[in-house]
Amino acid sequence: MPQLVPFYFLNQLTYGLLLMYLMLVLVSTKMLPYMMELYIMRMTMSKL
C-alpha cells in the first residue's frame, strides 16, 4: 500500500493541499463574484 510509505504520503499530502488551495483561490476569485453578479441581476429583474 503506497499510502503508508512516508515519501508517498508526504507527496499526496503536499499535492492534495496545493490542489485544495488552488481550488479555493479559483472559486473565490472567479466563481463567487460571477454568481453574486448573476444573483443581483436576477433580483433586480424580478423587482421590475
How far is the C-alpha of 23 from the C-alpha of 44, rounded, in Å?
A: 30
Query: What pLDDT sits at residue 28?
Result: 93
2 CB contacts (<8 Å, ≥6 apart)? 8
Query: What pLDDT sits at residue 1?
Result: 58
Query: What pLDDT sits at residue 3?
Result: 62
Task: Kindly state the average pLDDT of the residues 12-24.
Answer: 94
Higher-scoring residue by pLDDT: 33, 8: 33
Share of the chain above pLDDT 70, in %: 88
How far is the C-alpha of 44 from the C-alpha of 10, rounded, in Å?
A: 49
Cell of residue 18, nine digits: 496545493
Q: Is the pLDDT of residue 32 over 80?
A: yes
